[in-house]
Structure 1
Amino acid sequence: MRATIRDSFVGQVINAVSNGRLLPYPEEEPGFVLPPQYQRPDKGASPLSRPRLFVLGETPVSEVPTPSHTPVTGEVEANPNLVTWYGPDDPENPMNWSTGKKCWLTFTIMLLTTSIYMGSSIWAPAIEQGAEYFHVGLVASTLGISLFVLGYATGPLFLSPITEIPAIGRTSPYIVTLLVYCVLQLPNALVTNFPGFCVLRFLSGFVGSPALATGGASLSDTFAPHKLPYAMALYNLAAASAPGLGPILSGFAVDVLGWRWAFWEMLLLSAGSLIILSFTMPETSADTILCRRAARLRRLTGNPHLRSASEIAQAHLSARELLVQALIRPLYMTVTEPIIIAINIYIGLLYAVLYSFFESFPIVFAEGYGWSLGVSELPFAGILVGEIAGLGVYMWWNRVAYEGMCKRVHGHIEPEKTLTMSLPGAVVLPIAIFWFGWTANRTHWLSPVFAAGLFGFVIDWLFAPFLTYLTYAYPQYAASALASNDFVRSLFGAGMPLASQPLFHNLGVAWGNTILGCCGVLFVPLPWVLIRLGPWLRERSPMAVHDAEILAARSAVDEGEKARVASMAGVEGEVGV
């Protein structure tokens, strides 16, 4: 727990202000034994003599460098100024964290995601009250949803790539933007004019956006390939369920206390999350952790040439060039990578359907079935229940099928293997949409609720596989790939509340959902196409991982295992003699 607090945003501040005296790292503690390769000949051994358990381990098997690869001990021997892990079991390496710490990280990412995403739909029950208060029409009042979503569509293009800069890392942008998000809830709750309200909603979505695109990258920093789908599924559950929780959270408060209470509730939720995360969300970027370690070793040894791999790779770039490169990359990937384009459009369709419910649910349950404002928001719980059930099935598949595939190839698996569950998901999606549209207000209210639950059920079979696929297909630029996806899907989500008004009022709920369902039918072949053509597309991309790299890494591990077994056999033979 101490290491988790030390690696948090507050812990980093305390460590920096105290110059390493409080919450120190191993290199800052008395008695730290400097690994031999970092001892300069003219400096001799470290004057700190009390021994520690922090020693170099055996040289691990060399790996073919992948975008997420961080050099290990063997590479340090070739370059003594290269700062890397202190052996394969280095506890600072996020991949070596305990299961409990990894689970806590997953919880913090889910909490952060839920705290922001609920803000997109918290305004849904207040649309009519807002229209009356600000003296605008219902379509204009819907901008309270659309502008927030538009904000977190554009925000990741500028904020998420910053998390790929080693000197900054992932945790600091999360906490700083969440703090600004909390502050913005105050004027949101107190604003008295509609233009100001619109600006505040956009800014809230913009500053709250990093976790919505980068959360998956944080998890991929920490989990091995055969375990990552579990964490990604939980993260996607938070992302997909939070918009449905927003109306449930605010529905009764808005009905009784007025529309401003939607934002008071958001302030309480986000402020509580800020306090928890500031003290307990650790940094996950290996490049950032090693960059900070290099700085500590430079101070300790007086050797100005000690550098981490990321510092060496970016030494020729200025801070301005690094920033520009990071900001341009998501936009470039959005328009040049066929895999990303296809997945972005499909996930955008899912978002369009999800955000269409904010308009169709009041029509179906408040106007059609005659429920009160607060009660008419409760069917969103059907989506949440469906998502939880779908998550269980997805995790079961991962346990019985995907983990075995990963272990057989030592974790170096083709990204397309993650898409298996999306095949039935793509088929069931339009069925759920047609079911909801054509049973709403024609049958008992349970039927459209079950249809909404089925939609939630298949979301996990589509969100988790596709976003995990992007993480594996573009490991070096996972944050940028996910930021691109968040940008496009959020544009769909931002436009849908505005389009839903004429769509459902002019065509009706049945025919409006028929159009959405037909769009879903068009995308049924997409998972099969990516499974068949994905390797060919990745081979022609300069940013995606290639099968040759995967096979080479797999072979390297096999050779390393053979060498290890042979070495152990030799040792046993000597002991026997």
Structure 2
Amino acid sequence: MAALFHDTLFAYSLRLAFGSRVLPHPDETDLPMVWQNAVHEKDVLPESDASSVRTIVEEVRSSPASRSTASLQSAKTVVEPAPAKLDVTEKGSDLLLVGWYGPTDQDNPLNWSISKKTWVMFQTCLLTFTVYIGSSIYTAGIEDVSQEFHVSTVAATVGLTLFVAGYGLGPMVWSPMSELPQVGRMPIYILTLAMFVILQVPTALATNYGMLMAFRFLTGFFGSPILATGGATIADLYVPKKRAYGITLWGVFATSAPALGPLVGGFAAHAKGWRWTIWELMWLSSFTLVLLFFFYPETSAANILYRRAARLRKATGNPNLKSQGEIDVANMSPRDVAIDVLVRPFALNFQEPIVLVLNVYIGLIYALLYIWFESFPIVFIGIYHFKPQLLGLAFIGVLIGAFLVMPPFFAYLYYYQEPKYNVNGELKPEERMPVAIVGALLVPIVMFWFGWTSRADVHWIVPIIGSGLFSIAALLLFNAVLNYLADAYPAYAASVLAGNDLIRSMFGAAFPLFAGAMYRNLGVGWASTLLGLLACSFVPIPILLYKYGEKIRMSSKRARHDYD
């Protein structure tokens, strides 16, 4: 049970109040054994340095209370064969690099038990669902907002647009911050979620249109980190060979949330008005906040090692014990840090052709999702005469499609893709593209199917079945693209994924504003055909990346080149 609370915000709070005796780390309970495991003598050490290392271990082993700072500082070089203990930083330096205590170190998220990883994955997916549902749950009350504040339906829809724009801009700040060793991911997730919960109150109590719009943007902004950094969190937990499974599950929750929003909010808006859709969002996010406070651990290796180095410095009195993240940041000026946090995501997005093209493509898919959802009232209320509070049931096809695609896709990953990994457990990013090609072909098919079967003489189940195919296409595309970006730019994963979230959110924010007018003026069939033709124009992108992506990647200074 202690493992469930370890390195959570709850554990940090207890340790702050009662000291390190609460939920202690191994280096706080058995320092001699930690040093014995961490310091590895090799023949390559000069005899003088080897002797220094022996002195350190013997002194700490014999009496933790009488550690000799002078002896620790005298060991200029500590050699260790695996990258997972104390290792050499650079010859002649007094710094000692703090790493993992062996390849099976249980503090390393990659070594956590299956049950702990599953528990963390569930919380990550729940947080993603909680924020994503905040966009579409509002749509159930758009007509009510329009009537109460005496604005047009388009103006009321801006509440959806600003929320989506907020969670597109937010990760450009929050995601790079989560990469800083001193910060980590967990505090960003929980503190911004706390703001997300608090801001629901003035949103639900808004007394005028401007106040409502302002707080919708702010809630989206503060709720946003998980939407981009969630992929990096999954990369913290799983080796590349297994990461696609986690990304797929994460994608199911991300796709399901906008689909379930109108259903969850529909009955509340019909019975109590639009404000109750916001209260529902506050209740859900409050539950998620409490759960994460007690049970969500830090997953960033850089932050875990940063805190380990701090504990070892305190225990030994040796200021030269540093984590790699500390060393890297120490060599950076405040200007460099600011550039990393604020500028790098934009630079990667617009200076890397692969990143820009894939982000625009995913932005298009995201825009199609939101603009297409705007057609559902026209189709299922206007053509099939669903009751307004039951409109959300029309989105069930999207939800079912997302779950149906998982078993065959997992089989594809296991039997086809995993054997292509090299001996180092790595896969060329371009090998992600075959499933993206399938998804790209499905998108226009869905648009044509939905548009030309949405007629009174065709049963309503037919367009709903077509909508299920869209979630299949979206999951395949999102999985391929997010994994491709993480594989091709591993050193900048959080920043690259933040840029992806920005572009897709900007597309998703803008398109719903003209969706209703387009469907009313062109008709459902021709409007969907227009979207289908637009989707057709992007089909060559994954095909070209599969064929020429490696050559383009090799020409980039930021992309990884050393895949076998």
- Normalising to structure 2: TM-score of the pair? 0.91
Query: Distance in 1 between the 2:57 and 2:416 partners?
Result: 54
Write the letter of the residue equivalent to 1:167: Q
1:228 to 237, 243, 258: 243
Matches within 5 A, 1:13-162: 13-29=13-29, 32-36=32-36, 45-46=59-60, 72=85, 75=88, 81-162=96-177
Write the letter of the residue equivalent to 2:9: F
Of stretches 129-138 and 443-452 in structure 1, the one that deviates more from structure 2 is 443-452
Runs of 4+ that moved beyond 3 A: 36-44, 47-50, 59-62, 70-80, 318-321
CA RMSD of aligned residues (A): 2.0
Of stretches 78-87 and 235-244 in structure 1, the one that deviates more from structure 2 is 78-87
Shift of 1:102: 1.2
Residue 6 of structure 1 is matched in structure 2 by 6
SS, match of residue 239 in structure 2: coil
Shift of 1:392: 2.3
2:504 to 478, 481, 489: 489
8 Å contact from structure 2 (residues 450, 467) kept in 1: yes
Write the letter of the residue equivalent to 1:5: F
Shift of 1:507: 1.3
Shift of 1:521: 0.4
Query: Distance in 1 between the 2:259 and 2:277 partners?
Result: 14
Query: Distance in 2 between the 1:499 and 1:29 partners?
Result: 62
Write the letter of the residue equivalent to 2:202: P
Query: Distance in 1 between the 2:462 and 2:62 partners?
Result: 72
Query: Distance in 1 between the 2:90 and 2:316 partners?
Result: 18
Of stretches 254-263 and 25-34 in structure 1, the one that deviates more from structure 2 is 25-34
Write the letter of the residue equivalent to 2:439: G
Shift of 1:188: 1.3
1:508 to 523, 548, 551: 523
Matches within 5 A, 1:266-277: 266-277=281-292
Shift of 1:391: 2.2
Write the letter of the residue equivalent to 2:20: G
Of stretches 196-205 and 224-233 in structure 1, the one that deviates more from structure 2 is 224-233
Residue 568 of structure 1 is matched in structure 2 by none
- Give the gaps of 5 or more residues in structure 2: 40-51, 65-78
SS, match of residue 263 in structure 2: helix
Shift of 1:415: 1.3
SS, match of residue 123 in structure 1: helix
Shift of 1:324: 3.3
Of stretches 428-437 and 498-507 in structure 1, the one that deviates more from structure 2 is 498-507
Query: Distance in 1 between the 2:26 and 2:250 partners?
Result: 32
Of stretches 529-538 and 210-219 in structure 1, the one that deviates more from structure 2 is 529-538
Query: Distance in 2 between the 1:14 and 1:337 partners?
Result: 45
Query: Distance in 2 between the 1:403 and 1:95 partners?
Result: 18
SS, match of residue 226 in structure 1: helix
Query: Distance in 1 between the 2:214 and 2:147 partners?
Result: 19
Query: Distance in 2 between the 1:371 and 1:46 partners?
Result: 74
Mapped pair 1:296 → 2:311? yes
Shift of 1:60: 8.2
Residue 66 of structure 1 is matched in structure 2 by none
Query: Distance in 2 between the 1:82 and 1:60 partners?
Result: 10
Residue 550 of structure 1 is matched in structure 2 by 563
Query: Distance in 1 between the 2:213 and 2:152 partners?
Result: 14
Mapped pair 1:371 → 2:371? no
Mapped pair 1:419 → 2:433? yes
Mapped pair 1:174 → 2:199? no
Matches within 5 A, 1:220-259: 220-259=235-274
8 Å contact from structure 1 (residues 6, 15) kept in 2: no
User: Structure 1 residues 48, 331: CA separation in 2 closer, same or farther (over 3 Å shift)?
Assistant: farther
2:556 to 538, 541, 548: 541
Write the letter of the residue equivalent to 2:454: A
Query: Distance in 1 between the 2:428 and 2:86 partners?
Result: 27
Shift of 1:282: 1.2
Shift of 1:31: 5.7
Write the letter of the residue equivalent to 1:23: L
Residue 355 of structure 1 is matched in structure 2 by 370
Shift of 1:301: 0.6
Shift of 1:33: 2.7
Query: Distance in 2 between the 1:536 and 1:240 partners?
Result: 32
Query: Distance in 2 between the 1:164 and 1:278 partners?
Result: 20
Shift of 1:17: 3.3
SS, match of residue 45 in structure 1: helix
Query: Distance in 2 between the 1:211 and 1:172 partners?
Result: 12
Mapped pair 1:397 → 2:430? no
SS, match of residue 511 in structure 2: helix
Query: Distance in 2 between the 1:266 and 1:43 partners?
Result: 55
8 Å contact from structure 1 (residues 30, 48) kept in 2: no
User: Structure 1 residues 245, 155: CA separation in 2 closer, same or farther (over 3 Å shift)?
Assistant: same
User: Structure 1 residues 161, 74: CA separation in 2 closer, same or farther (over 3 Å shift)?
Assistant: closer
Residue 560 of structure 1 is matched in structure 2 by none
Query: What whole-Å deviation, never above 9, does each CA across 1:457-486 have from its counterpart, x for those lacking one?
Result: 221111111111111111111100100000
Write the letter of the residue equivalent to 2:563: I
Query: Distance in 1 between the 2:16 and 2:336 partners?
Result: 27
Shift of 1:48: 6.6
User: Structure 1 residues 132, 496: CA separation in 2 closer, same or farther (over 3 Å shift)?
Assistant: same
Write the letter of the residue equivalent to 1:81: L
Shift of 1:27: 1.5
Query: Distance in 1 between the 2:278 and 2:345 partners?
Result: 31
Query: What whole-Å deviation, never above 9, does each CA across 1:198-235 have from its counterpart, x for those lacking one?
Result: 00000000000000000000000110121111000001
Mapped pair 1:197 → 2:224? no
Write the letter of the residue equivalent to 2:423: V
8 Å contact from structure 1 (residues 362, 377) kept in 2: no
SS, match of residue 411 in structure 1: coil
Of stretches 33-42 and 112-121 in structure 1, the one that deviates more from structure 2 is 33-42
User: Structure 1 residues 273, 76: CA separation in 2 closer, same or farther (over 3 Å shift)?
Assistant: same
8 Å contact from structure 1 (residues 164, 170) kept in 2: yes
Residue 348 of structure 2 is matched in structure 1 by 333
Query: What whole-Å deviation, never above 9, does each CA across 1:254-283 have from its counterpart, x for those lacking one?
Result: 111211110111011000001111111111
Query: What whole-Å deviation, never above 9, does each CA across 1:430-476 have from its counterpart, x for those lacking one?
Result: 00111111111242111111111111122111111111111111111
Shift of 1:410: 3.4
8 Å contact from structure 1 (residues 387, 458) kept in 2: no
Shift of 1:34: 4.2
Residue 477 of structure 1 is matched in structure 2 by 492
Matches within 5 A, 1:203-218: 203-218=218-233
User: Structure 1 residues 437, 84: CA separation in 2 closer, same or farther (over 3 Å shift)?
Assistant: same
Of stretches 190-199 and 310-319 in structure 1, the one that deviates more from structure 2 is 310-319
Write the letter of the residue equivalent to 1:285: S
